[in-house]
Chains A and B, each alone.
Chain A
Amino acid sequence: MPYYPEFTLIILAAFAVAAGHLSLKKSSLLAGSQGAITYLWAMLGVILLSMGPVAAIYVLRKVPLTLAVPLGSLVYILVPLGANLFFSEKLNRRFWTGLSLVLAGIIIVGLSKA
């Protein structure tokens, strides 16, 4: 497989973006109670979220979209898992069925553009 560094970067970026969403959730939960900490979480969220487009620009110069899109949609799995882990959000079978359909849809849409 010739794209090991790029694939690693996409996976790391997916984790960073997921962590960014979790930071923003934390910041929105703290909003109104702890001013400075709220903004620190929000700032962390912005920094982590901005890693996604930066990595995409770098990776898409070398990796075809057909390979990048399925890996990039890893975010859609990581975010609910993180929300379940850190915020105890409940995920049932109906949720995972829906998420699988969303993922399939994103991959089909991404591949049809390639």
Chain B
Amino acid sequence: MNNVMNSAISKPCTKEASHTSYAYGCIAIVVILNATAQLLLKATAEYSLHQPTTGLQLQHLLNVYSVSAAVCLGGSFLAWRKALAGIPLSRAHPLCSLTYVIMPAGAYYFFDDTVSIPYYIGIACICFGIFLISTSEEEGT
């Protein structure tokens, strides 16, 4: 009898937990796709600067990088909608700032961008802030 009652109580909790995990997975996808899109836009800008004609021209802005960036942003939008169905917006939105953590790593790897000490301090603040926000629901109001 107890087992039946326990399973009846735990089933919705497990379902809710998996729904939340799915939403957090979607946010991870959003962050990765957003950072990739930013890096691809940077690649587009670099590509257009190295073209023989002067100035910014539309045909130089429409290339494999910019189209891939648009695809990434489209995918990010779809994942964002899925994420919002599972977790509160006030908790989900600050998590997107993790893009600021991934982006410099990508820029350092692909474009040899320098990463300064204030950048690391900023990233540490973002990560700790996100930890507090994501655990704030457990604390209650």
Contact = CB atoms under 8 A, between A and B. Distances in A.
B25 interface: no
A90 B127 CA distance: 21
Interface string B96-136: 01001000100000000000101101111111111111111
A40 to B, nearest CB: 14
Given A94-B132, A97-B132, A105 B89 contact: no
A111 B122 CA distance: 10
Interface stretch (A3-11, A25-33, A59-67): A25-33
Given A25-B84, A90-B141, A92-B141, A105 B100 contact: yes
A69 B82 CA distance: 28
Contact of A106 (B89, B122, B133): B122
Nearest to B100: A109
B89 A87 contact: yes
Nearest to A81: B90
Interface residues of B, number: 38
Q: At the interface, is chain B mostly helix, strand, loop or mixed?
A: helix
B93 A76 contact: yes
B85 A21 contact: no
Interface string B1-40: 0000000000000000000000000000000000000000
Contacts of A29: 84-85
Interface residues of A, number: 40
Nearest to B95: A102
A91 interface: yes
Contacts of B132: 94-95, 97-98, 101
Contacts of B122: 104-110, 112
A100 B84 contact: no
* Residue among B123, B126, B129, B140 having the largest count of chain A Cβ atoms under 10 Å: B129
Interface of B: 77, 80-82, 84-85, 88-91, 93-94, 97, 100, 104, 116, 118-119, 121-137, 139-141
30 contacts: A28-B81, A28-B84, A42-B81, A84-B90, A89-B88, A89-B89, A89-B91, A90-B137, A90-B141, A92-B140, A94-B135, A95-B132, A97-B132, A98-B131, A98-B133, A98-B134, A98-B136, A99-B133, A102-B125, A102-B126, A105-B127, A106-B97, A106-B100, A106-B122, A106-B126, A109-B118, A111-B118, A112-B119, A112-B122, A113-B119
